Amino acid sequence: MKTFARTALAGMLALGAVSTAAYADGLKDMKDVKISFVVHGSASDPYWSVVKRGVDDAAALTGAQIDYYNPQVFDVVEQARLLDAAIAAQPDGIAVSIADANAMKAGVEKAVAAGIPVIVLDSGEDPGYEFGANGYVGTVSEYDSGVKAGKLLAKNGILKVICINHEVGNVSLDQRCDGLNDGLKDAGGGTDVVAVTPDPADITRRTEAYLSSHPDVQAVFAMGAGAANPLIPYFKDHELFGKIGLYTFDISPEVLDSIIAGEMGFGMDAQQYLMGFLPALYLVEMATNGIMPINSTYTGPLFVDTPEKATAILTLAKQGIR
C-alpha cells in the first residue's frame, strides 16, 4: 500500500533516532545534512507558500540545512537551471517538482547518476520514477482528481465548465482539466480552457471576456488557488454567485472564507504542507539512517465542500499550514 507513517518518522526525528555514537560509513549527523528543494511554483503563489512552510518546519525539527529554490515566475527552463546549480552543490538529497518532464528529465537523471537521492513532490510522479527518483509526495494522479471533480459536478447537473489555467505549460494543470472534462463526458458535459497569466487583473479580464461570449457556461473551475483568489471578488462584484458556480483545485484562506459564506461550491485540498514537510524528513532520514519509504505518499485530494469543513481548517490555512 502506498502510504506512510508520519507519526513514527516525526517521532524518530524529534527524539533523535540517530544516536551520538559513531555513524555508519556515509551517514551523517542531522545538523550536517544538506537538502535542496527545487520547485516550479513562484513565491507569490499561495499554494507554494504552504509548501515552503512545510519545508521550514522540517528544517526546524531536524536541524538540517534545507535550501529552497524557485523561479520568480513559472519558468521551467529557469527551474532546470536551478536544479543544475543545486546538483553542483552536492547536497545529501534533492526534492523536485516536475511540471514539465522534458525540461526536468536531464537534471533529475544527472542527480540520480551523481548518487543523490531524489524525491519528486507535487507533480511528475510517473516521469519521476522513470528518471530514477526514489519516491513521490503529492496528490493521487492529477487526472484522476479531475475526473472525481467532474463526476461530482455532473451529478449536480453542471455540465458546461471552463478551466482557468494560470500556468500555461504546466502539465499537471493540463491533466487536471483533462480529467475534469472526462469526468463530465459520460453525462454529456465537457470543458473549455481559458489560458491566463498569474496576474490577477489578467485572470479576471480573460474570464469575463469568455463568460460574456459564452452565456451557456455553468461553472468556472480554477486550476489552482492562485487563479481562484481574484475570481472571488470578481464574482461578488458582478453578482455571479448563485448564477454560475465557482470551484477550484487547492485551497486558500480566501477560498475557505467563500465556502463558509455559501458562495464557492468546493475547493480541493492537496495538503501541500506535507509536500514540503515529508520529503525533507525522508531525505534527512536517508542521510542519517539510510532508510527511505519505497513508494509514493499521497496527500490528497480532499474535497472541502461544506461551510463546516471549511471552518474547521480556516485557522490552519491562515497560519500557512493548510
* pLDDT at residue 222 is higher than 60: yes
Q: How confident is the model at residue 20 (pLDDT cuts 50, 70, 90)?
A: very low
**Whole-number Cα distances in Å, 189 to 152, 194, 297:** 12, 17, 32
* pLDDT at residue 21 is higher than 80: no
pLDDT in tens, 204-221: 999 999 999 999 999 999
| Amino acid sitting at position 198 | P
pLDDT in tens, 251-302: 999 999 999 999 999 999 999 999 999 999 999 999 999 998 888 999 999 9
pLDDT at residue number 228: 97
Query: Quick check: helix, strand or coil at residue 304?
Result: strand
Rg (CA), the chain: 20
Predicted TM-score (pTM) of the model is 0.85
* pLDDT at residue 191 is higher than 90: yes
Alpha helices for the chain (secondary structure H):
6-15, 46-62, 76-88, 101-113, 125-131, 142-155, 171-185, 200-213, 225-237, 253-260, 273-289, 307-318
pLDDT at residue number 71: 94
Instruction: Determine the average pLDDT of the residues in 183-199.
Output: 96
pLDDT at residue number 6: 44
pLDDT in tens, 101-114: 999 999 999 999 99
114: its cell numbers: 551523481
Q: How confident is the model at residue 24 (pLDDT cuts 50, 70, 90)?
A: low
178: its cell numbers: 483533462
What integer best gives the mean pLDDT of the chain?
Answer: 91
Angle at 24 between CA 22 and CA 26, to 5 degrees: 120
Q: How confident is the model at residue 145 (pLDDT cuts 50, 70, 90)?
A: very high
pLDDT at residue number 22: 44
Taking the alpha carbons of 57, 60, 62, 68 in that order, is the dihedral positive or negative? positive
List domains and CATH numbers for the chain: 6-139+271-291 (3.40.50.2300), 142-269+308-313 (3.40.50.2300)
pLDDT at residue number 8: 41
Tell me whether strands 93-96 and 297-298 are parallel, antiparallel or unpaired: unpaired
Nearest of 170, 31, 158 to residue 99 by alpha carbon: 170
pLDDT in tens, 50-105: 999 999 999 999 999 999 999 999 899 999 999 999 999 999 999 999 999 999 99
Q: Which helix (H) or strand (E) holds 36?
A: strand 34-38
- DSSP assignment string, 85-150: HHHHT--SEEEE--S-HHHHHHHHHHHHHTT--EEEESS-HHHHHHHT-SEEEE-S-HHHHHHHHH
Q: Rounded to an integer, what distance in angstroms lies between the CA atom of residue 30 and that of residue 118? A: 18
Q: Rounded to an integer, what distance in angstroms lies between the CA atom of residue 69 and that of residue 89? A: 13
Do residues 51 and 272 make contact, with C-beta atoms less than 8 angstroms apart? yes
